[in-house]
Amino acid sequence: MRAQTSLSCDVLVIGGGATGAGVLFDLAQRGLRAILTEQNDVATGTSGRYHGLLHSGGRYAVRDPESARECIEENWIVRRIAPHTIEDTGGWFAAFPPDDPSYIPLWLAGCKAVGIPTEPLSIAQALREEPHLNPGAYAIYRVPDAACDSFELIHTLIEAAAALGAITLNYHRVCAIEKAGGKVIGALLENRRTGALVRVHADAIVNAAGPWAGEVAKLAGADIRMTHDRGVMVAMNVRWVNTIINRLAPPGDGDILVPVGTVCVIGTTSVVVERPDDLDIPAAEVTQMLDAGEIMIPEFRKARALRAWAGVRPLYDPPQKREGEADGGEDGRYITRSFRTLSHADVGAAGMLSIVGGKLTTYRRMAEQICDEVCAYLKVQAPCRTAETPLPKPTWLGGGRGKLHVLSHRLHQLEHAPRHDNLICECEIVTRDQLEAAIRASGEGVSLDDLRRDLRLGMGPCQAGFCGYRAAGVLSEVAHLSPERAIQALAAFIGERFRGNRPLLWGHQLRQALLDEMIYRRSLGVPALQAQVQAAAS
């Protein structure tokens, strides 16, 4: 197959989540020429679809001590090297009336064994700090959990790697892994926006594709036994707590409540699914989350359920397990959250390595281990320095200010701006200037959903009801879109927003959805316009 463009590098990295971005930065810091390819935008997979928790490891202290130890050790490192991506909320493990008290000494012993600090907290003190907490809680311990903005972390890593010469190709899908003489020599990519083919010549390939790692490995003739474990989360429009709350019980559904910005996120379920892109949101699982929230916060359902979404955990379930490692059940909770690196030399693909499993919290350690193996294969002597290197605040949209997703920072900027007539998204305080800068920085083909991840556009209470059409107008003007492409961009954005609202159509959220429907379907006629565009194209 003939490619229209040819690139060369030392290492091709497949996957634009936290692990892939971490690998890209690590390789670049070691002086290797690296290219990252991602089939969508960066942070669109598992890393961009989690609850926002930087784990202390407490969740895994009893069943999965290896993962717990990895989490606490990397927790301290991420805090040190990327503080601008962290909100140091702290975390509690709290036992409520349904929880078995016999689990507490097991959990305390597990935390001590792997080095997770715990501090007992009196119920009276806890209620002073978090007055909405269920007063029936009978045991609470403080741990070093935190909230982590995965969008900002990944953009930070991508930009830091770019400053060292690395290249990121968004919206490029791997079509083929090319081999010769028993080793990989590169890959063929398809630009999903233009259809153009790009051939990348590489001496080594790192498969960091998360839930798609098995599909990528098949292109090289390798078989990876992946378990796709889907979890549903719900964002509430009230920040009920300022501390991350974990149930002090064996891991289960809806046992983590994470304050994120102005909202809080309850999660998650755990359902094994066949496909890596199975992001269905069953209504029953949403109900599970809301019921679980009531156990921790008795008034939980009085808040408005703002949005539901799902992510797929890429769990590695090897045929031969390590000693003491349990089999995965129906929900995958018994599969370790630790990670493995796999070589594919046995299928004639020497130089291709896959990294599977793991957590966002342990992304840096995962990158370090697989980059060590890449360097050994390439006979390059270059130590890892990512644990000691502070990541620079990103300049990609904020001129080095960082904390772009903190609402108070945006409000301060708006109040001190020379003019106040350019507000596009009132809920998340996104200005026209910010939107235009993001469009220009993102380059050709940027979508409104890409801008959502960059700026939190449309992620507030109206769920793009008022900002969607404004943003589409700015995108059309700045990116010089035809009317047809502008309509398609708006329709795709609104459709994706509604997908996360569909399971929550009651109360205030139903009223908001009806208003949004009135704006886009009846006033602007977006579906009819989209149908006309599609008919003309065919």
For residues 359-378, average pLDDT: 98
Q: How confident is the model at residue 398 (pLDDT cuts 50, 70, 90)?
A: very low
> Is residue 397 pLDDT above 60, yes or no?
no
Q: How confident is the model at residue 320 (pLDDT cuts 50, 70, 90)?
A: low
pLDDT tens digits for 100-113? 999 999 999 999 99
Q: Which domains does the chain carry? A: 85-146+227-313 (3.30.9.10), 407-537 (no CATH)
pLDDT tens digits for 233-269? 999 999 999 999 999 999 999 999 999 988 899 999 9
The whole-number pLDDT of residue 529 equals 78
Q: How confident is the model at residue 309 (pLDDT cuts 50, 70, 90)?
A: very high
pLDDT tens digits for 517-535? 889 888 888 888 788 778 7
Q: Helix 526-537 crosses helix 483-501 at what angle (to 10 degrees)?
A: 130
> Is residue 415 pLDDT above 70, yes or no?
no
For residues 133-157, average pLDDT: 96
For residues 453-468, average pLDDT: 88
- Provide the percentage of residues in the chain whose pLDDT is more than 90: 74
For residue 524, give the 3-state DSSP assignment: coil
> Is residue 414 pLDDT above 70, yes or no?
no
pLDDT tens digits for 116-128? 999 999 999 999 9
| Mean of pLDDT over the chain | 91
The whole-number pLDDT of residue 383 equals 97
For residues 179-199, average pLDDT: 96
pLDDT tens digits for 54-101? 999 999 999 999 999 999 999 999 999 999 999 999 999 999 999 999
Lowest mean pLDDT among 161-175, 180-194, 414-428, 464-478: 414-428
Q: Are 187 and 39 in contact (CB under 8 A)?
A: no
The whole-number pLDDT of residue 48 equals 93
Q: How confident is the model at residue 319 (pLDDT cuts 50, 70, 90)?
A: low
Quickly list DSSP for 159-222: HHHHHTT-EEETTEEEEEEEEETTEEEEEEEEETTT--EEEEEEEEEEE--GGGHHHHHHHTT-
Nearest to 212 by CA among 10, 347, 17: 17
Which position has the token pair 């959220």?
A: 509
Instruction: Please tell me which residue, 259 or 408, carries the higher pLDDT value.
Output: 259
Alpha carbons 340 and 328: distance in angstroms, whole number: 16
Residues ≥6 apart with Cβ < 8 Å to 418 = none
Retrieve residue 263's tokens.
Answer: 């909202």
The whole-number pLDDT of residue 71 equals 97
Q: How confident is the model at residue 325 (pLDDT cuts 50, 70, 90)?
A: very low
Name the pTM for this structure.
Answer: 0.91
For residues 156-185, average pLDDT: 97
For residues 219-244, average pLDDT: 95
The whole-number pLDDT of residue 329 equals 46
Alpha carbons 216 and 474: distance in angstroms, whole number: 37
Retrieve residue 14's tokens.
Answer: 């497949």
Quickly list DSSP for 120-142: EE-HHHHHHH-TTS-TT--EEEE
